[in-house]
């Protein structure tokens, strides 16, 4: 692998690692947002059971639930974007690996051709031996 290709491979590996971390972070945020939305919904049910002050609290409770649900949707979108970013980073990483493998295969073919050429040249320089 050439130096520039090795640097590019390390960069792609670092990008994949960063994308994996982002996926994990966004998944945790999504879970927290979904839990907050469930809690807001449960709070509406719990307040309804108590009855006292429910009418006054209801608009605030509905607003809190709506906000929590919106945040959960946004968190889900961010998590999906993170997964797409990871897929793109992996594709880039595989492309660099593929290029590296192709260059290594070409270097091996070139080395075999050079070796065969040296053998052919050595055979041509050798004086002919009489047969028999």
Q: Is residue 126 part of a domain?
A: no
Domain assignment of residue 128, yes or no: no
- Per-residue pLDDT, 3: 83
Half-sphere exposure of 119 (CA within 13 A, CB side): 6
User: Under 8 Å CB-to-CB from 68, ≥6 apart: which residues?
Assistant: 33, 36, 37, 39, 40
Task: Specify the higher pLDDT residue, 128 or 105.
Answer: 105
The structural domain count of the chain equals: 1
Is 24 a member of any domain?
yes
Identify the residue with better confidence: 107 or 123.
107
Question: Would 1 be classed as within a structural domain?
Answer: no
For position 1, what pLDDT does the model report?
Answer: 47
The string of pLDDT tens digits covering residues 87-118 is: 999 999 999 999 999 999 999 999 999 999 99
The answer as to whether 64 is a domain residue is: yes
| CA distance linking residue 23 with residue 32, whole number of Å | 14
Domain-located, residue 70: yes
| pLDDT for res 2 | 55
The boundaries of the domain holding residue 104 are 7-120
Q: Do the domain assignments include residue 132?
A: no
pLDDT tens figures, 3-39: 899 999 999 999 999 999 999 999 999 999 999 999 9
> 127 lies in a domain?
no
Over residues 49-66, mean pLDDT:
85
Distance, in Å, from the CA atom of 93 to the CA atom of 105, rounded to the nearest integer, reads: 18
Higher pLDDT residue, 4 or 81?
81
């Amino acid at each position: 692998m050439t130096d520039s290709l090795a640097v590019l491979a390390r960069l792609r590996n670092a990008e994949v690692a960063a994308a994996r971390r982002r996926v994990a972070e966004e998944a945790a945020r999504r879970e927290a947002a979904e839990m907050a939305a469930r809690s807001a919904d449960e709070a509406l049910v719990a307040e309804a059971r108590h009855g006292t002050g429910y009418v006054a609290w209801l608009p605030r409770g509905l607003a809190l639930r709506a906000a929590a649900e919106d945040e959960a949707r946004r968190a889900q979108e961010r998590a999906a974007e993170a997964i797409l970013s990871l897929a793109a980073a992996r594709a880039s990483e595989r492309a660099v690996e593929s290029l590296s493998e192709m260059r290594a295969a070409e270097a091996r073919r070139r080395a075999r051709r050079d070796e065969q050429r040296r053998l052919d040249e050595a055979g041509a320089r050798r004086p002919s031996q009489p047969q028999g």
